[in-house]
A and B are shown apart, each in its own frame.
Chain A
Amino acid sequence: MKSKLTIEQKVWNYLRRNKKFMFSNVLLVTGITAPKLTTLLESYEKKGFIERNENSKSLMNSYYIVIQKLESEPRVSKDEIKQASLVLRPLNTLQRKLKDVNQTDFSYLFKSLSLSRGVLKQSLIHLQNLGVISIEDEGKVRATLDNSLLNVNALKLKALEELFKAKEVTKIKEHISSKKVLDDFAQFPRELELILETITQNEYLKRDELRKLSDVTRAELKIWWSFLKKSAIIIDSVKDSPNSRVSYILSANRAKRVLAKLKAGAYEEDKELKKLWMQ
């Protein structure tokens, strides 16, 4: 008895039934992922079908109102979702392939890809705009790709790969539409850098204060919390009064040293950073 509807149709049906709805309820009912739902709702908002309540505190608790009578079929045939998949899917395929090939020999790569020439050409132009590749023919993609010579910027390719892994569809789309060159891939996670930089300036903080000053989410701080302890950046904890929250005594010197090691490539060598743990 399983429904044969697509996930977009399921979301659309939910919206038709609920003139006022909450983001998290759509997730619960339809089983769609949060990034995909964000993209869908953004596109419906742009088309004027729905409106987001501006007082919403967080994404999960955000409320939307349906402001138009919705037809039975979702209006997605020519919208951003489809366009995005037309652009992003081949781009993802291509960026995955680029890692494995010799920088000067691409002819066999093009033949091995199941992309049409038009799509491939478009994807190469996007990669060129993102700074991931440069093409040796006065910067133009050749009509015939068989003999094209491409140079790959490994750090930008890695940055693009990370964006795909993190399903940062909106960010990739923004870069493509604004033709903005990607930043080089940071050798270690940006949030860890932000946390450590905050600690270099503040040696006595509550966990929430550290999070806010570092501009990272609770989940991001949680990932690095045990590392901060193991690397002895968190020295001790105290409670100002029995009912207050725990404050942590942090070592700015130790944070500086760890940051230097990370910038020297420690994260690339070992993702768990075991060498930086203090026994």
Chain B
Amino acid sequence: MKHQFIETENYIKCYEALDEMVSLPDHSHKMGLFYGEFGLGKTITLERLANDTGAALVRTLGGWTPKSMLSDICYELGVDDSGSTATLETRVINTLIADPRPIIIDEIDTILSGHKNEMVVLRDIHDKAAVPIVFTGMEQCLRLLRRDRHYFSRFVNIVKITPNTRNDIAKYCQSAEITIEEDLVDYLHTKYANLRQIKTIIIRLERFCEDNDLESANVQVLKTSKVEERNEI
């Protein structure tokens, strides 16, 4: 199986949303939210998005305070991460004004459940530096953010991360060293939501096909190979 990133429909939606926010004029609001259930590939999509766009990606931690959050953002921006909270905040804003980069905050659920002081600091950075800030998290994020209408009014793009489509899975199957037939693509799409699970199955199927001298695999081959059963051990 080739190791290559598949531009899934979720990735394309997120990329387009971020691209649009970057091109908005300075005086417009530029906050975004990408949310969805676990296991849909959000984190790898964000890593790739940060890599492709040069965005600063920061993951929240349970023990975050406004200061430690700012320190992490400074580290990600490659500037000195020492000083008081106010110094760090000013440094982040000045750095982003001089060299604008979108900021992505992953797993926002962690700070939404607390006192939300970090959210206030992030709002200040957004307002002063006029850079897009994208939050990502689970389903309940949208509901929690909606409660604060004043804050929520800054959100211009909200993207729901959905389960991988059949098209995504078909694209993914093209990375296999064997031909994955259409009926098997349909089967994988119906049964597995997660590309990581599909990857394991395809790797095992490749081995089975190699041992049994097969060039392609369909549902019947999958059932004969019993590679799924090992998943249930």
Enumerate chain A interface residues (CB-CB to B < 8 A). 1-5, 10, 13-14, 16-17, 24-25, 27-31, 34, 60, 71-73, 206-208, 218-219, 222, 225, 237, 245-246
Contact = CB atoms under 8 A, between A and B. Distances in A.
A259 B159 CA distance: 61
A31 B5 contact: yes
Contacts of A2: 52-53
| A interface secondary structure, majority | helix
A60 to B, nearest CB: 6
A17 B79 CA distance: 15
B210 interface: yes
Contact of B19 (A1, A10, A16, A218): A1
Contacts of A16: 75-76
B48 interface: yes
A246 B208 CA distance: 10
User: Which residue, A4, A60, A73, A207, has most C-beta atoms of chain B within 10 A?
Assistant: A207
Interface of B: 3-5, 18-19, 22-23, 44, 47-48, 50-54, 57, 59, 75-79, 177, 210-213
Nearest to B55: A3
B51 A3 contact: yes
Contacts, number: 65
B8 to A, nearest CB: 12
Given A1-B19, A1-B22, A218-B210, A24 B51 contact: no
Nearest to B47: A29
9 contacts: A1-B19, A1-B53, A3-B53, A14-B51, A17-B59, A29-B5, A29-B51, A207-B210, A246-B211
Given A1-B18, A3-B52, A17-B57, A28 B3 contact: yes
Contact of B44 (A3, A28, A72, A206): A28
A73 B211 contact: no
B211 A245 contact: yes
A237 B23 CA distance: 62
Contacts of A245: 211-212
Contact of B213 (A27, A72, A208, A237): A237
